[in-house]
Amino acid sequence: MKAQILFGYPAAAICLALTASADSRPLSSFLKSLHIRGNQSPLTNLPNIAMPPINDDKSSPEISAGIIISDVMGKTQDIAIFSGLSRDIDSVSDRLDDASQNATVLAPDNGAMRNLPRKPWEDPKEYSALGDDAYKGEAGEDRAHRNMRRFVEAHIVPESPWKEHHKVQTLNGNTIWYESTGGKKMIQPGNIEVLSIADKVAKPLASQQPISRPSTAMITVVDGQDLLICNTCGTQFDVSLQSGSPLKSCRICEDPRQYVPPGGQVWTTLGQLKGKHENFLEQDPTDEKILFITTEPKCGIGERAILLQTPNGNVLWDLIAFIDQKTIDFITSKGGLSAIVISHPHFYTTHLEWAKIFNCPVYVATEDKQWLNRFDHLKARRFIKGPIETIVPGVTAIKVGGHFDGSMVLHWEKKLFIADSMYTVPSAGTPSPRQPGTSSYSFMWSIPNMIPLPPSKIEGIWKALQPFEFEATYGGFTGQDVRGSDVKKRVLESMQIQVKSSGHPEHSLLLEKLEGVMVAVEW
């Protein structure tokens, strides 16, 4: 029995349906409801399922008398897209308008709807059998309507109240139930969390019958343990493993800066990683307030997160995908987190799960918003719009660009946390006395594919860093620590080496000086 319906269809099909609608208008009423998705990321997908439970527990709203469930859905902005679809399906809209029939509506919120991998009326099997014209013409329109009805009906439980553990059939025949764990209601199968209950209503049936067949609208979301994570880069997507139709690809890895491994795309989940990996914490040998967190065996790209224990709160710089109880307990014992700051999309990983656990904001650059892959139900993200941002007093995020347009570094107590914005190279470890013209960093658009940044971008990094003093850098990976009073000079020197070697002997960056002393590039 599959709880979910149609999933994981390639992005091309989504575009096709929208284009086809423009001239033949086969699905005008559906498209009207959905046009808002047209500019959404094509990559994600989502559980189509949303289910809700109903109980008489104290967290549920009081029953609102005198209105019907369709009224509630109409006024609940978070589920406006789904509500629009449900109005197009007579079997559902009639039921929701009828106060004599009770129902529980499992409404996916707008983020989940936008992230569907394809339109709810599309079925990959029909595209395979019928080609691009599967939803054109009268027969195509019928097919689309049938699929749409199936989608909407999968979200309607013809019961309310709906008791925990009680297996019910949705209007399209899927068997589902829900369980309460850790204060959350989880719809099964699929581990879909009920985010909130929009309302409960009951309308007097007739003059003599003051009550009340209650109906409920619930807003649902999938549990993060079950969401797909790209095995190569560690990025988590709003797609449930249970959907049965995993995403075709990871857009972070398909970007020229990353890569898909020879064996092809592989997915995992936090639930699957559990027990197979472990996080380790290592103290910076020069500063006990700094801790490195890594995962063994390596998970994703193998980066490290760095915990800064500042007098103004703990800040976690960058992120790893895997979270285990040991890490949670340790960070909690140190006072939790005031903020997470992520340098760039390669380290986005499971940031909404971390934010949920530590109830803290996650700072990311506005410029890289397009690379986010999950809907932020918790509203945990803070977007850094300007060139710098104070995270907590003394800790400053500096936008340097280059690797990504919004690539950032973090500055604290004369230390610079650089992630991939500057890539620490082997000769950074060359012992003193170093020969003049020895590189310590490379400035790369792609690190694994070795595509260097152009001089203009390197100069942009320098201009952003110039006002800050620092005597150590910490890269995104273990061992990438560089310390010394000459570190800033080494940054500029490395930049000049790269600019000169790429064939720009007259570039203005070669004239930059540090502390009034020309940094020689004898190379």
Contact assessment for residue 81 and residue 110, using Cβ atoms and an 8 Å cutoff? yes
Shortest reach from residue 420's CB to Zn ion, in Å? 4
Q: Report the C-alpha gap between 338 and 312 in whole angstroms.
A: 8
Q: Report the C-alpha gap between 224 and 207 in whole angstroms.
A: 47
Q: Report the C-alpha gap between 295 and 155 in whole angstroms.
A: 38
Per-residue mark of binding to Zn ion, 375-414 (x: CB under 5 A): ----------------------------------------
Stretch that binds Zn ion, among 145-153, 242-250, 353-361, 505-513 (CB under 5 A): 242-250
Contacts of 138 (CB under 8 A, 6+ apart): none
Tokens of 472: 């150590």
Shortest reach from residue 319's CB to Zn ion, in Å? 12
Binding of Zn ion at residue 420 (CB under 5 A)?
Answer: yes
Q: What is the DSSP letter of 366?
A: G
Identity of the residue, 222 or 253, whose beta carbon is nearer to Zn ion in the bound complex: 253
Q: Report the C-alpha gap between 73 and 217 in whole angstroms.
A: 7
Binding of Zn ion at residue 83 (CB under 5 A)?
Answer: no
- Strand arrangement, sheet containing 481-483: 388-392, 395-399, 408-412, 415-419, 472-475, 481-483
**Residue 413 burial class via C-beta count within 10 angstroms: exposed 0-12, middle 13-18, buried 19 and up:** middle
Identity of the residue, 233 or 482, whose beta carbon is nearer to Zn ion in the bound complex: 233
Shortest reach from residue 253's CB to Zn ion, in Å? 3
Among residues 104, 170, 339, 373, which one has the least CA distance to residue 254? 373
Calculate ∠ Cα 80-81-87, nearest 5°: 85
What part of residues 172-201 is at the interface with Zn ion (CB under 5 A)? none
The upper half-sphere exposure of residue 476, i.e. CA atoms within 13 Å in the direction of its Cβ, equals: 25
Identity of the residue, 232 or 350, whose beta carbon is nearer to Zn ion in the bound complex: 232
Identity of the residue, 64 or 265, whose beta carbon is nearer to Zn ion in the bound complex: 265
Shortest reach from residue 159's CB to Zn ion, in Å? 41
Identity of the residue, 346 or 351, whose beta carbon is nearer to Zn ion in the bound complex: 346
What part of residues 212-241 is at the interface with Zn ion (CB under 5 A)? 230, 232-233, 235
- Pairing type for strands 313-317 and 104-108 reads unpaired
Q: Report the C-alpha gap between 212 and 215 in whole angstroms.
A: 9
Shortest reach from residue 193's CB to Zn ion, in Å? 24
Shortest reach from residue 464's CB to Zn ion, in Å? 17
Binding of Zn ion at residue 252 (CB under 5 A)?
Answer: yes
Identity of the residue, 330 or 477, whose beta carbon is nearer to Zn ion in the bound complex: 477
What part of residues 342-361 is at the interface with Zn ion (CB under 5 A)? 346
DSSP 441-486: EE-EEETTTTEEPPHHHHHHHHHHHTT---SEEEESSTT-EEESTT
Shortest reach from residue 235's CB to Zn ion, in Å? 5
DSSP 379-436: --EEEE-SSEEEEETTEEEEE--SSSTT-EEEEETTEEEEETTSEE-GGGGPPSSPPT
Among residues 291, 274, 271, 273, which one has the least CA distance to residue 282? 291
Identity of the residue, 33 or 350, whose beta carbon is nearer to Zn ion in the bound complex: 350
Identity of the residue, 252 or 337, whose beta carbon is nearer to Zn ion in the bound complex: 252
Binding of Zn ion at residue 461 (CB under 5 A)?
Answer: no
Q: Report the C-alpha gap between 341 and 382 in whole angstroms.
A: 9
What part of residues 253-292 is at the interface with Zn ion (CB under 5 A)? 253
Identity of the residue, 83 or 235, whose beta carbon is nearer to Zn ion in the bound complex: 235
Stretch that binds Zn ion, among 81-89, 251-259, 457-465, 486-494 (CB under 5 A): 251-259
Shortest reach from residue 303's CB to Zn ion, in Å? 9
Identity of the residue, 82 or 317, whose beta carbon is nearer to Zn ion in the bound complex: 317
H-run or E-run covering 296: strand 287-296
What part of residues 471-490 is at the interface with Zn ion (CB under 5 A)? none
Stretch that binds Zn ion, among 30-38, 243-251, 280-288, 354-362 (CB under 5 A): 243-251
Shortest reach from residue 349's CB to Zn ion, in Å? 10
Shortest reach from residue 423's CB to Zn ion, in Å? 9
280: three-class secondary structure by DSSP: strand
Shortest reach from residue 374's CB to Zn ion, in Å? 14
Number of residues that bind Zn ion (CB under 5 A): 9
Among positions 50, 187, 201, 250, the unique one binding Zn ion when judged by CB under 5 A = 250
Identity of the residue, 33 or 421, whose beta carbon is nearer to Zn ion in the bound complex: 421
Q: What is the DSSP letter of 118?
A: S
Which residues form the interface with Zn ion (CB under 5 A)? 230, 232-233, 235, 250, 252-253, 346, 420
